[in-house]
Structures are given as structure tokens and as C-alpha cells.
A and B are shown apart, each in its own frame.
Chain A
């Protein structure tokens, strides 16, 4: 997982999006569930096992 500042995050090992709304996203990462919260969350790119997130401010919870 790469986080650039508090604006962008690149997450690899995505096994599926569990929940998605404009302020939070929960991603299934196998053993863990990774949650990102922020304002106006946007999935800029969605690939088979990776996604790129954009937001006003991003916070990550494991």
C-alpha cells in the first residue's frame, strides 16, 4: 500500500470491495480488512487486484 500525502493511496492485494460510499471504503485484503475514510472518496482506477484512491483527506484503518 502506498499513500501519497493525505490525498492519494494505491492499494495492492485487493480481493474485493466490501463497502463503498463517499466517505468510507472497506477493502477485503485476505486476512485483514482495510478501511479508508475521507471526503468525496473517488476510486480513480480499479484493476484486478489493485485500486487507486483519491480523496480530499485520507485516513487508513487496519
Chain B
């Protein structure tokens, strides 16, 4: 039924009214000639009927022959539509142009979404993709995504898996990070002892597996055996095991930090803001400012325009170039102490982070002025886990 209606619309049809003394005669003659008439109704002795546009001339002839008059009430279909807009060539040209433009633009990628983990910078990946030929405005048929994925995965060691999915004018890049190899766990066939990593005095001993060789209050030296993997039972049986323990000891550390009196002070100077607009892959500057040659920090941001939560190929990028100037300065003692305190805090942070379950028991600090600069000397008493595991080579034992 739809096809019939479509054909009628394409060829055009008319709503006509036949008036006269015997409109039935008109209808009979038209039917005898094989003309197609439908939806005929009688209104006030006039017949209103639908007929094909191509039959109009014959219908006029029949009306003349039967002494009836024929009026067209309304025209329907494509010929009528084209006739109505015949004088509006610009409209038709615009329609054709927009349709052509639509099909032409559909062959390009206008929207690239990059999904990266926190450990990888999105802008860095976008730059790499651009170098490989994946950018907004590329022809979707011209890109070999498999080759690009292979190239990026082989050159960037942080990426373990990557995919580029092109769907219509959208491209989605998904990246999965490479995870570090897990540490090889000791199995039951490996045996170990626990030794000390520093000199100090034992404060606490927690042995989970093995035989403790030290007790709280003992003095220990670096590489001294703390817990043995050899376990002797009361019945005289001896076994080797994977020793597990935590031995805490009070250790001593010292640090010396020196800063010169004459130094350079970094001050923020003027800021330059550079804005660009990217439309369909074409980047146009919105400001006349260019980059800087002096010391600077650059902060870049990009805003993608969206309509109904769908990104359109228009984006505005902004770069803020903050300049810095170095000025000579002489540090006073309070200023130097503040700087040294900050550096010492950093030292303590990294020292505690590198040690296992460490805590500072006592800290002694002195700041000295030696004429050229200020020196901070700090002495620490730390309680930390001093254990390190050493594997016992059983193959040698077996050979012996």
C-alpha cells in the first residue's frame, strides 16, 4: 500500500469536481476508457473525485463531450511541489548543496574521544595520534587503525592495550595501562634467613616463622643474622623454612643541608593568554599573542562544545603562559631557616617513605651561619623495621 501511495505521490494526482446535468455519464465514459478514478463522493449533485495528473487532458475531453464542467480543486504530489517552488531556485540549490555537503562531510572524522587512565596524559596521546595521522578532519577510510595501534603500543611502554573505534564521524580511542609485574612470591621450596639492614639497638621482635637470634635490648650491626630459617624442634628434628619476622630497632641517621646566602629569587612576571578555535579540524587564532622565549610555565586547557551531550567538531583551546624572572637576593637568617625547615620536611617525608614502618623517636637540629651560607644539621633516632630477607641456596647444601 505504501508503494502505491508513493507512486501516486511521485506521479502526482488531482482532486477534481465534475458538475453538470449528468455527471454519471462522465464517470461511465472515464471508466470505459480505463482512467483511474477513486474516492468519489457526491456533494450537491456534483461529483468530487480523485484522478491521476497524467489523465487530466483526457478527462477534459470527456467533460467537453458529456457537457459537464471540470474544475481542479487541489493538486497533490511531487510535480505540484516542484511547480510550487519552481521560481525558488536558490532553495532547491541550497537543498541539493546541503545534501551533498552532508554526504561529503560524513566521510571524515570530526570527533575524537580519548579515554586514558590517570597515569597517561590525554594531550600527550592526542599529539602522538596526530603524528600518526589520527586527527579531527581526517578521512575515515584512509586511516589504518591496526597499524597505528601496533605502532603506538610498541613505542610507548606505558600502554599495554589500545583500540581505535571509528563509527560514522566519531572516533573513540581507548587505552589500558601496562601494570607492573608482580613480585615473585617465595614458594614452599625456598628457604630464607632475615638479616639486618642497619646498625642499631633492638626494641621489638615479632617472629612469625623461624628462630629469633636477637632479643629486645641487643645491639645489632648491618648484615647481622636476626632470624634464622633453621628451626630446631624439641625431638631433635631440624627443618629449613622461609623465615618471616619484623624486628624493630632504634637506628641513627644524620643529614646536613646547606644553602648559600646569595641566591636568586624567582618572581612571577606578566601572563600571556593564547586562545585558538578549532572548527572542523581547522585551527584559527583568537588572539594575537604568541609563545614566550623566557622562563615560563604553560597551562593548557581545551573546551569542546556540545549539543544535547553530543560533542560537535568545534573546540576552544586556551594556553596560559606564566613568565618568571630571576632576581638576585640575599637571605636573612629567618628566611634561610624557613627554607631549611621546608627542605628538612621533604627529607623526612622521603626517609620515612623509604623505610618500613618507621617513626621518628627523637630529632636534634642546629642551624649554623658559616659566612657563605647557612647549614642545617639534623640528627635522628628512628625506630624502624630493619629486616631484609636473604634466600638460602639449598642446591649448594644438597651438593655438599
| Interface stretch (choices B30-38, B190-198, B359-367) | B30-38
Given the interface contacts A17-B24, A17-B27, A17-B28, does A45 sit within 8 Å of B42 by beta carbon? no
Residue of A nearest to B45 (CB): A21
Are B40 and A48 in contact (CB-based, < 8 A)? no
Are B38 and A21 in contact (CB-based, < 8 A)? no
* A20 CB-CB contact with B under 8 Å: yes
**A-B interface pairs (CB < 8 A), number:** 47
* A10 CB-CB contact with B under 8 Å: no
Q: Which residues between 13 and 47 of chain A lie within 8 Å of chain B, taking CB atoms?
A: 14, 16-22, 40-47
* B47 CB-CB contact with A under 8 Å: yes
* B121 CB-CB contact with A under 8 Å: no
* Chain B count of residues within 8 A CB distance of the other chain: 18
* B354 CB-CB contact with A under 8 Å: no
Q: Which of B23, B28, B31, B38 has the most CB of A within 10 A?
A: B31
Are B38 and A46 in contact (CB-based, < 8 A)? yes
* B39 CB-CB contact with A under 8 Å: yes
Are A46 and B34 in contact (CB-based, < 8 A)? no
Are B40 and A42 in contact (CB-based, < 8 A)? yes
Are B41 and A22 in contact (CB-based, < 8 A)? yes
Give the chain B neighbours of A20 by CB distance below 8 A: 23-24, 27, 40, 42, 47
Residue of B nearest to A42 (CB): B41
Residue interface mask B10-29, A partner, CB < 8 A = 1: 00000000000001100110
* B327 CB-CB contact with A under 8 Å: no
* B43 CB-CB contact with A under 8 Å: yes
Are B24 and A22 in contact (CB-based, < 8 A)? no
Query: In whole angstroms, what is the CA distance A16 to B32 when docked?
Result: 9
Are A41 and B42 in contact (CB-based, < 8 A)? yes
B1 to chain A, nearest CB (A): 13
Are A44 and B31 in contact (CB-based, < 8 A)? no
Residue of A nearest to B32 (CB): A48
Query: In whole angstroms, what is the CA distance A16 to B33 when docked?
Result: 12
Give the chain B neighbours of A17 by CB distance below 8 A: 24, 27-28
Are A40 and B24 in contact (CB-based, < 8 A)? no
B97 to chain A, nearest CB (A): 42
B21 to chain A, nearest CB (A): 12
Q: Please list the residues of chain A having a beta carbon within 8 angstroms of any beta carbon in chain B.
A: 14, 16-22, 40-48
Contacts A20-B27, A20-B42, A44-B40 known; 9 new A-B pairs at CB < 8 A: A20-B23, A21-B42, A41-B42, A43-B49, A44-B38, A44-B39, A45-B38, A46-B31, A47-B31
Q: Please list the residues of chain B having a beta carbon within 8 angstroms of any beta carbon in chain A.
A: 23-24, 27-28, 30-32, 34, 37-43, 45, 47, 49
